[in-house]
């Protein structure tokens, strides 16, 4: 029994090690210069993951990452709501439900996409969009990317928006289909 | 097009100013479209970081680790960094042979720029690369290879492990490992880097003071002290610290160059700010001299108005000119409480101007031209015009060099009961400590003075404490 417990624990630790850097990277961007510590946000996310680990451990990496991402986003939105009610002195509103209870559409879509598919999709972007997005994914700021391409900073912003739109359409074809249907029906 | 919703991508990319980011976080709670957009965007970004940064690598240690101490109970928050730390040890136990060389990616050696402004003490983490600030906070999201870390742990090189985490902005982990490192100047320096990452300037200064007491020429501590002082607004000390860091031999030439350029930038910034301040004071002072000043309006910037009032009183050559300043003194006393400025103006208006007027002209010349005529300070010292002597001693910096003059300043400020004059004297005392080579004492005194100054809210121009 003790061995079983230990094995689970080790698996959970490995799970944390695997996903922590990516989540922390996102958390830092969400929390930048707010009173919320990115490390706390990630910590809370793993706290939520612990009781769900029995289900999470057997799922694909992509599904686990999508679950963690949704959970962290929920925690973050909770924080924003609390901030807002605190600054306005309002009572706390109902907080966001946990992902396990109510997986949203976004999560369900992204659970199905793996990193290989992403690699293929990014190769299909227009070269300047692809290179700009790669630099962005390395952590470069808009100014650094703008300098690299010798274009205005505003251009970098729209390139990244376009790159993301194209990536999403390549990765989530059903989204694109739905969009086209919307366009033809209107 | 300029609705808040258009800022979603900028927000996620950390490209908004702190105020804009705050506003956007508020907007998010009300806008369903942005919430959906945010969810999708974060999923894509996380996928990209997994695919491009290779965070999935080197994770299959799960079957090899030995049991850890029980940790699933309470205090989970604190437990995870510790648990991860312990997990590394366990990986190490199973290695049959230690490799002497660290793979370079542990310390991000292949990067051609660095994202951390501060300097870590570990030699492998302190190779010079050009500084390029990153979005949000200063970090790399590159994954940590766990095996070499386990090796570092086997060698008990906790500073090394902490450095690897710090380079990736994982400050909690860095701190947890630093706590296990033996006491040293290097450890204090690295703990200060953690404090810097959280903008805890005074805590960093405390730690760096400790490091520099052990090793006065510790290049990283001198450098980081520059950053902490800069963060705390003590630009002149920051500049001096960077210049000192630049002179330490035996480091990459890049560090010396960047230290000098940081020092020069600080100097330039300080001079620009100083000139801007002096101009503001001069304008108000001229308005007062021309009798065109709107007292209420001037007092809206109490620090500027106060400085202008001192100079106006000191350079007035008739009793009537001094008396004309009474309404401003009253208004400023109303803002600050007490009656020190009114008392000062009344005292000075009652002076014998046949003696004071020539000295006031000398003082005006000193302020306008920046130089003293021979024997001026001595003449002022013998005169009864203590405020002119006070002004001239501060202006010429004489009090920093001359213990007697410093004592005179202390006497005057005490007699005047004017809190600003007391702060100025404390600053001069700090500088005289610095000139006597007691930088530690000087820094403590300056920080205390700065804190007292800030307690008065916007009443004083605290940048002058620097």
Structure confidence by residue, pLDDT tens digits, A14-61: 888 889 988 998 998 898 878 888 888 998 898 888 878 888 888 888
Nearest residue of A to residue B144, measured between CA atoms: A21
> Is A141's CB within 8 Å of B15's CB?
yes
SS3 A95: coil
Please name the residue of chain B whose CA is at the shortest distance from the CA of residue A139: B134
B76 — pLDDT class (breaks 50, 70, 90): very low
pLDDT tens-digit map of B108-164: 777 778 888 999 999 888 889 888 876 544 445 556 666 677 777 777 888 988 998
Range with lowest mean pLDDT among A176-185, B83-92, B194-203, B298-307: B83-92
C-alpha distance from A21 to closest chain B C-alpha (Å):
6
**Dist. CA B321–CA A168, nearest whole Å:** 74
Taking CB atoms and an 8 Å limit, are A13 and B134 in contact across chains? no
- Please list, in sequence order, all residues whose beta carbon lies within 8 angstroms of the beta carbon of residue B397, skipping any fewer than 6 positions away: B431
Which pLDDT does position B59 carry in this prediction?
33
Which among A79-93, B125-139, B234-248 has the top mean pLDDT?
B234-248
The answer, yes or no, to whether residue A13 has pLDDT greater than 80, is: yes
Q: Which of B104, B73, B71 is nearest to B85 (CA)?
A: B71
Task: Say if CB B148 and CB B92 are below 8 A apart.
Answer: no
CATH 1.10.275.10 fits B76-269, yes or no: no
Determine the distance in angstroms separating the CA of B152 from the nearest CA of chain A, rounded to an integer. 17
d(CA B223, CA A41): 31
Could you please state the CATH topology (level 3) that the domain comprising A115-185 is classified under: Arc Repressor Mutant, subunit A (1.10.10)
Distance in angstroms (rounded) separating the CA atoms of residues B436 and B431: 9
Nearest residue to A106 (alpha-carbon basis) of B49, B8, B36: B36
Chain B residues within an 8 Å CB radius of A25: 49, 139, 141
Q: Is the dihedral of CA B455, B458, B461, B466 positive or negative?
A: positive
Q: How far is B454 from chain A (nearest CA, A)?
A: 22
pLDDT of residue A84: 66
Which residue among B15, B39, B65 sits closest to A10, beta carbon to beta carbon? B65
Neighboring chain B residues of A16 at a CB cutoff of 8 Å: 80, 84
Residue A32 to residue B137, Cβ atoms within 8 A:
yes
pLDDT at A2 over 80: no
Question: What are the C-alpha distances in Å from B370 to residues A71, B168, B373?
Answer: 64, 50, 10
Question: Can you give B436-458 as a three-state secondary structure string?
Answer: CCCHHHHHHHHHHHHHHHHHCCC
Encode pLDDT of B16-34 as tens digits. Answer: 888 888 889 888 888 888 9
pLDDT for position A111 = 86
Cα B253 to Cα A33, A51, B225, B249, distances in angstroms: 33, 53, 19, 9
**In 3-state terms, chain A is what percent helix, strand and coil (to 5)?**
75, 0, 25
The domain locations on chain A are 2-106, 115-185
């Amino acid at each position: 029994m003790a061995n079983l417990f230990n094995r689970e624990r080790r698996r959970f630790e490995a799970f944390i090690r695997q996903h922590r850097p990516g989540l922390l990277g996102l958390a830092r961007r969400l929390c930048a210069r707010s009173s919320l510590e990115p490390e706390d946000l990630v910590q809370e996310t793993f706290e939520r993951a612990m009781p769900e680990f029995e289900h999470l451990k057997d799922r694909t990496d992509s599904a686990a990452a999508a679950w963690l991402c949704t959970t962290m986003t929920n925690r973050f939105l909770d924080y924003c709501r609390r901030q807002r009610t605190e600054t306005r002195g309002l009572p706390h509103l109902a907080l966001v439900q946990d992902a396990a209870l109510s997986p949203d559409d976004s999560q369900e879509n992204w659970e199905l996409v793996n990193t290989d598919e992403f690699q293929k999709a990014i190769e299909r972007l227009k070269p300047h969009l692809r290179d700009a997005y790669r630099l962005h994914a390395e952590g470069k700021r808009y100014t650094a990317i703008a300098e690299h391409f010798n274009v205005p900073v505003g251009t970098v912003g729209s390139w990244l928006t376009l790159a993301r739109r194209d990536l999403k359409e390549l990765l989530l074809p059903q989204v694109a289909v739905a969009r086209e249907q919307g366009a033809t029906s209107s | 097009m300029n609705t808040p919703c258009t800022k979603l991508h900028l927000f996620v990319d950390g490209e908004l100013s702190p105020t804009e980011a705050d506003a956007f976080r508020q907007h998010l709670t009300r806008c369903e479209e942005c919430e959906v957009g945010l969810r999708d965007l974060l999923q894509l970004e996380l996928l990209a970081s997994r695919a491009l940064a290779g965070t999935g690598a080197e994770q299959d240690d799960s079957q090899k680790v030995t049991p850890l101490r029980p940790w699933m109970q309470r205090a989970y928050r604190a437990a995870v960094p510790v648990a991860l730390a312990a997990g590394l040890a366990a990986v190490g136990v199973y290695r049959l042979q230690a490799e002497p060389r660290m793979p370079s990616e542990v310390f991000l050696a292949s990067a051609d720029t660095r994202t951390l402004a501060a300097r870590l003490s570990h030699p492998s983490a302190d190779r010079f690369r050009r500084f390029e600030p990153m979005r949000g906070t200063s970090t790399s999201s590159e994954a940590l290879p766990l095996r070499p870390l386990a090796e570092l742990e086997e060698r008990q090189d906790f500073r090394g492990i902490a450095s690897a985490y710090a380079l990736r902005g994982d400050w909690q982990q860095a701190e947890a490992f630093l706590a296990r490192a033996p006491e040293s100047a290097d450890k204090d320096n690295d703990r200060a880097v953690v404090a810097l990452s959280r903008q805890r300037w005074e805590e960093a200064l405390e730690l760096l003071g400790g490091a520099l007491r052990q090793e006065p020429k510790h290049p990283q501590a001198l450098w980081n002290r520059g950053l902490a002082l800069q963060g705390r607004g003590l630009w002149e000390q920051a500049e001096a610290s960077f210049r000192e860091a630049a002179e330490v031999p035996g480091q990459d030439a890049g560090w010396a160059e960047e230290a000098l350029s940081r020092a020069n930038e600080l100097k330039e910034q300080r001079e620009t700010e100083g000139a801007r301040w002096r101009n503001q004071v001069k304008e108000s002072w001229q308005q007062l001299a021309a009798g065109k000043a709107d007292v209420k309006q001037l007092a809206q910037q109490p620090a500027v108005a106060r400085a202008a009032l001192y100079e106006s009183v000191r350079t007035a050559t008739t009793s009537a000119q001094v008396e004309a300043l009474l309404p401003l003194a009253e208004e400023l006393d109303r803002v600050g409480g007490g009656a020190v400025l009114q008392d000062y103006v009344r005292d000075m208006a009652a002076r014998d101007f046949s003696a004071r007027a020539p000295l006031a002209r000398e003082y005006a010349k000193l302020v306008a031209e920046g130089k003293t005529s021979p024997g001026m300070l001595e003449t002022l010292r013998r005169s009864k015009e203590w405020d002119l002597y006070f002004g001239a001693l501060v202006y010429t910096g004489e009090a920093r060099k001359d213990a007697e003059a410093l004592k005179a300043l202390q006497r005057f400020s005490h007699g005047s009961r004017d809190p600003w004059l007391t702060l100025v004297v404390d600053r001069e005392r700090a500088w005289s400590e610095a000139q006597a080579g007691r930088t530690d004492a000087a820094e403590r005194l300056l920080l205390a003075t700065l804190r007292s100054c800030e307690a008065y809210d916007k009443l004083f121009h605290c940048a002058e404490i620097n």
